[in-house]
Chains A and B, each alone.
Chain A
Amino acid sequence: MLIEIFKRVLLMSAAGGALGVFWLCLKPVTRKVFSPKWQYYIWLTVLIVMIIPVSFSPLKNHAYVSYEVQMQNMNADEIDAATMKAGETTAPVEIYVKPKIVVTQNVMRRMSFIWLFGAATVFGVKLIKYLAFLRAIRKNSTAEDNMQGIPKRLSVRRTHTLDAPLIVGLVKPTLYLPDMELTKIDMNYIFMHELTHYRRKDILYKWAAMLIGSVHWFNPLVYAVLKQIDLECEVSCDFEVTSNLSEAEQNNYMNMILDMMTNWRSNSRPLTTQMASGKKILKRRFEMIRNNKKTGRFVSAVSIAAAAVMLSTAVFAGGAASGLTNGRYVVTVKDAGEKLDLTNGGFVENNVTYVPLRSTLEKLGADAKIEWDNGQVYSYITEDGQERVYSIKIGSDVIGVSVNNETTKNVNLLTDEKSVPMLKNNVTYVPFNYVDYMLSSNDITLSVQDKNDAEADAKAEYEVTVGTYKAYEVQENKDVPAVFNEDNPAFVKASVEECLEKINYNLPYTYELKHKEYNAVENTVKFYVEIKPESSDSYDYLTIVYSHNGEIWEISDYYLEK
């Protein structure tokens, strides 16, 4: 789950970063043509791309599209025998679970933890500093009650700890004024500036930027974007304040800022660092005040259109990339250890592995015949003198089963709603466990390997083929627990050995399967195993959870001592 989120974050970061670079490159032009307000708010497009996850698969075929049927020789008798309706589930449904153990050491998993830890740290440190700051200035300040023209929700205080006026606080905003003599005119300009910030809710914008910056802390472009936001915040604020002032008043405004800065300089310790950035920023702000041109309506419309177009492009690109990475897996099917080449290839979508029905059955050497009829796909499989017919339907999660022309029953393979047979480029694909179920006597395993993790996986990935075990009966009402028909001792032994080896449990032991649990909501089966080391009197406990597509969800060994 974390890994999926992390992958999304990476994609959003890339798309947002690309959009940010695009705007940065365009800045020399947009600065001259578009308004300061646009310069300030345009970075919202980057923030949006970085926070809204969009994913879609451009290749997805809708399961209900009509298709050209590849007809085979159909024997009328066979059709009669195979008449059954899949898709109606009024009767209780049998659930079939076949777990497989595939364990992979994933570099991605490690990286996703690092990301999470980094984001929490970055955010946590900022928050702590922020709270310490709030406390320090509040303690060393006094309330100013007689201020006119101040919005009700904004309180005003005076403090000696600050050199410049500032507004801080998201929920309870407070305007802090420095403890110095200020003329009425100066105060007027200060209020104009600060109240503009307050009205525009610039603090909210900054908080949003900080939060997103924490999530994307690893992306260097994000810091460039945050700097731009800070800069354009002030520039656009000055612009708004001075746009209706006369030239003389504009000069007074600029002088006010310079005087406050000089005032500070004479009171305080000298600077230890001299950064050109402060001068550049102020220069930009003053330039903007002097060149106080209003942008025409046409240009404004163009600027908004440009923003909208780039935003959608970035969102689309990110979404498509996310959808494409779904297919990044290499799907191979092994029969008794041998890799089989699938003509149409398998793919992974929504975390479910799909294989082409016909080629897979063929390659696995099954004596199988496939027929299509009006949306129904019939697979005739002859095995051990027994003929079974499986009827599936594109888009439906129920399989109709008939053995030797007898009882038909409806089976549901515990897949979630999205993983149903589908049609893609005129080929029928089914979730892998369908094939597995149909050929119950084969020992086939599925290997799904992330292409990019090949190296790490080659070292650590291994598979254990386990036998099947019989279907469990569940009631329609999922609250009634499953009744387990039969144990499969070989399967349990293989699982336990596998797990204990994973955690380097070296003591000689005997074990006993104490309890099994089936979770219908999550589609998992849980085994509770009691381990008795030979050399000790106490017991260790092992819990193994299997999901419907075979992964171990957790090995919990916290009672286990190694």
Chain B
Amino acid sequence: MKKTKEISDAELEVMQILWKHNRPMKVQEVCDELVEGKWEYRTVATLLIRMREKGAVECKKDNKVNVYTPVLDKDNYTKSQTKNFVQKLYNGSVKDLAVSLFNSDDMSEKDIEEIRRMFKL
């Protein structure tokens, strides 16, 4: 099952930089792109390590220096964020004002299986 990576606001900022340059970047280069003195080198390095664990970025060695490239696709990410937003609104209030086929938030896979068995479908 594909998971949408839940990345934090700070990590998102780093992602924006990687997406903008679209090439492997060193930690220092990322730092330089940030607003003067925003985060320490160590902070950025830690962020990138976390992002790699989440699978949002890829790490390679270039002359003994770590370089990072984005794995998470920007369009996909934006899309899934919009979708989350829409779903939250719908389940929050809008479902009282619209008519649908089913409520996607309400059932687990187990539930669906059970229904299939119950009705022999």
Binding site for B on A (CB under 8 A): 125-126, 129-130, 132-133, 136-137, 140, 160-168, 170, 190, 193-194, 197-198, 202-203, 206-207, 209-210, 213, 226, 230, 233-234, 237, 251, 254-255, 257-258, 260-262, 264-271, 273-275, 277-279, 281-283, 286, 290
Contacts and interface: CB of A to CB of B under 8 A. Distances in A.
B96 A269 contact: no
Contact of A203 (B79, B98, B116): B98
A207 B121 contact: no
28 contacts: A125-B93, A126-B97, A129-B89, A130-B94, A133-B89, A160-B79, A161-B83, A162-B86, A167-B99, A202-B99, A206-B97, A207-B97, A210-B96, A210-B97, A234-B102, A257-B102, A258-B115, A260-B102, A261-B112, A266-B1, A267-B2, A270-B3, A278-B106, A278-B107, A279-B106, A282-B102, A282-B115, A283-B115
B43 interface: no
A278 B1 CA distance: 22
Contacts of A210: 96-97
Number of chain B interface residues as a range? 35 or more
Contact of B86 (A133, A203, A267): A133
Given A161-B83, A269-B3, A290-B119, A261 B97 contact: no
Contacts of A255: 121
A264 B104 contact: yes
A258 B116 contact: yes
Nearest to A229: B96
Contact of A166 (B89, B96, B101, B109): B101
B99 A233 contact: yes
A277 to B, nearest CB: 6
B101 A193 contact: yes
A203 B97 contact: yes
A149 B78 CA distance: 34
Nearest to B93: A129
B98 A230 contact: no
A194 B101 contact: yes
Interface in B1-55: 1-4
Given A160-B79, A162-B86, A266-B1, A130 B97 contact: yes
A165 B86 contact: no
A190 B82 contact: no
Contacts of A129: 89, 92-94
Contacts of B116: 258
Given A258-B115, A282-B107, A283-B118, A166 B98 contact: yes
Contacts of B114: 279
A67 B38 CA distance: 93
A168 B3 contact: no
Contacts of B104: 163-164, 261, 264
B97 A257 contact: no
